[in-house]
Amino acid sequence: MDAFAEYRRWLENVKEVGLLEDLKGIEGNDEEIRGRFSQHLSFGTAGMRGILAAGTDRMNIYSVGRATQGLADYINEVFGGGSVAVSYDSRIMSEEFARETASILAANGIKAYIYSRLMPVPMLSYAVRYLKCQAGVMITASHNPSQYNGYKVYGSDGCQMTDDDANAVLRRIEKHDYFSGIKNADFDKAVADGLIEYIGKKVCESYYSDLMTCRVNPEIPLRKNNISVVYTPLNGAGNEPVRRVLEMCGYTKVTVVPEQEMPDGNFPTCPYPNPETEEARKLGLELCSQVKPDIFIATDPDADRVGVAFPEKDGSFRSLTGNEAGILMLDYVLRGASENGTLPENAVAVRSIVSSSMADEIAANYGVEMRVVLTGFKYIGEQILLLEQAGEQDRFVFGFEESCGYLGGSFVRDKDGVYASMILCELTSYYKSKKTTPLEVLDSLYEKYGFYRHKVANIAFPGADGSAEMKAVTERLRKDPPRELAGFRVTETDDIMKHEHTAEDGTVTHIDLPTSDVLLYTLENGAKVIVRPSGTEPKMKLYISAKEDSAEKSDALAEELESSIRAAAGL
């Protein structure tokens, strides 16, 4: 693509005043023009995500329109028409992008169901299935910084689109120009004509009702042993649904972080609204020092992820990693179901490949099958679909990934921060009634199963050459694979891109997993190191897993492993 020719074309065709001023503002800035116009914003199984600005490699009303026209073509050609559910979070331009999406779908003869106000990812996934739609669109950039927005596409099963379907949509997107050939309808007229319909209260109430069935110990005398909660929606879409569900469960002592309560796409108190980070939790934890709650929870802008912290005996708060929260919830769900006699026969739990293998030991302790899938919650949702197709969806009990994503029940097929908030509060209340705390329970699990420690390192690759630089790192590792890390022999290497498992003696066997640019090294001491370029951000992730006979030894080994894999990868 000729970046400068495309820039001039946008100058001639863009009508929106804000975008036109943005274009004029970069005139003469060759580096910025190349960065914005050298390629199209990528579209894959996570849809597309980018910085809000004018340009082919940016999120704007034109990139949304082009993507939606391609999606409409796909639905009409593959399904002969149908319907799409649309939702959006609090990000800048989210509502405008959602309305544009609905209008273009309507103009193409496709019924668009849209929430009348911002709603989180799980409620979009739920609506797709409830309304029997052919697809869903969630306008969100998840936990990215405030200057980002995105367009996440779901299939009829409520999962993010598979590789094949996403590629089929992409082929149709690529046929369209940004400024011509995109059908559009007046939003209000399409509502009046019935081509756009607001998703009503009935859908929301059905979601809440189904969520109540996921409680493990609903009979706990919650009001007698009521816990105190500090919650922050991080200025996102979780505020209403999370508080509603906690109220339904009987948790009345909920204090919301005031600065982060109302929707605000600028995220003024946490520019990077990721509940995994201490920066995003800072204000909430400061409030905890005053309120002294039993639990602190934070949901990201589209409320699919949850961060959690619990009080230590000295009054300070300890934030859990995504793995620790997943382990705590998994054990609570399986323990409670076993005690209550509600654990299904041949129960199934699912974790991502980069999540803690401690979960495997916990599942085995309760006689539960643990399935391990690639990173990306769509693969967890896919396992539920496989069970559903066999008429066995009730076997699914819990799924999680280390990046603070959790799911229970089979009615949602993506991360559900509302569900996770409910279960985290329930287990806190349950353990309080047993005169113990979640942290004491977590420590007892480490004593029982071993001191697993997990470390995630994020390495940024900014700029137009970032993708090529990341690719060079994995190619370097494939060409010259490490034979030892931190002084321990590499005994097994899994290359998911090549579908190859290589043993220490050189024996190669096939890996039956979808293609993904992932390298996994297993060491002689059981430690694991995973190298994976992010699919949604310009960064590479290193996942380190260590298990020793003390927390201190495990932490030290994790640090050594990170240094060693960085050296091997030339980072």
Name the token pair of 30: 């060759």
Q: Which fold has domain 227-317?
A: Alpha-D-Glucose-1,6-Bisphosphate; Chain A, domain 3 (3.40.120)
DSSP string for residues in 85-138: EEEE-SSTTHHHHHHHHHHHHHHTT-EEEEESS---HHHHHHHHHHTT-SEEEE
Round to the nearest angstrom and report the end-to-end CA distance of the chain: 31
Q: Are 305 and 403 in contact (CB under 8 A)?
A: yes
Instruction: State in words which class domain 452-569 has.
Output: alpha beta
pLDDT at site 362: 98
pLDDT at site 57: 96
Q: What is the pLDDT of residues 297-312, one digit of tens each?
A: 999 999 999 999 999 9
Q: What is the pLDDT of residues 400-424, one digit of tens each?
A: 999 999 999 999 999 999 999 999 9
- Decide whether 39-207 matches 320-415 in CATH topology: yes
Centroid of chain to Cα 256: 23
The verdict on pTM exceeding 0.75 is yes
Check whether 535 has a pLDDT greater than 70. no
Mean confidence (pLDDT) of the chain: 94
Check whether 394 has a pLDDT greater than 90. yes
Q: Residue 570: pLDDT band by 50, 70, 90 thresholds? A: confident
Distance CA(329)–CA(216), nearest Å, equals 11
Q: What is the pLDDT of residues 20-62, one digit of tens each?
A: 999 999 999 999 999 999 999 999 878 999 999 999 999 999 9
Q: Are 566 and 546 in contact (CB under 8 A)?
A: no
Q: Residue 224: pLDDT band by 50, 70, 90 thresholds? A: low
pLDDT at site 515: 86
39-207 domain in CATH 3.40.120.10? yes
pLDDT at site 562: 93
> Could you tell me the CA-to-CA distances from 39 to 93, 362, 396, 523 in Å, in that order?
22, 46, 41, 40
Name which of 400, 528, 511 is nearest 454 in CA terms: 528
DSSP string for residues in 161-222: PPHHHHHHHHHHHTT--SSSS-----HHHHHHTTSEEEE-HHHHHHHHHHHHTT-S-TTS-T
Check whether 513 has a pLDDT greater than 90. no
Check whether 208 has a pLDDT greater than 90. yes
Q: Work out the average pLDDT over 379-385.
A: 95
Check whether 220 has a pLDDT greater than 90. no
| pLDDT > 90 fraction of the chain, expressed in percent and rounded | 87
Check whether 223 has a pLDDT greater than 90. no
What are the extents of the domains in the chain? 1-33, 39-207, 227-317, 320-415, 452-569
Check whether 221 has a pLDDT greater than 60. no
Q: Work out the average pLDDT over 487-510.
A: 94
Q: Phi/psi of residue 199, each to 5°?
A: -75, 120
DSSP string for residues in 426-468: HHHHHHHHTT--HHHHHHHHHHHH-EEEEEEEEEE--STTHHH
Catalytic residues: 142
Which range has the worst mean pLDDT, 32-46, 216-230, 288-302?
216-230
- Which CATH superfamily groups domain 320-415? Alpha-D-Glucose-1,6-Bisphosphate, subunit A, domain 3 (3.40.120.10)
Q: Residue 536: pLDDT band by 50, 70, 90 thresholds? A: low
Q: Residue 466: pLDDT band by 50, 70, 90 thresholds? A: confident
Which range has the worst mean pLDDT, 176-190, 217-231, 428-442?
217-231
Q: Work out the average pLDDT over 492-498.
A: 93
Q: What is the pLDDT of residues 106-150, one digit of tens each?
A: 999 999 999 999 999 999 999 999 999 999 999 999 989 999 999
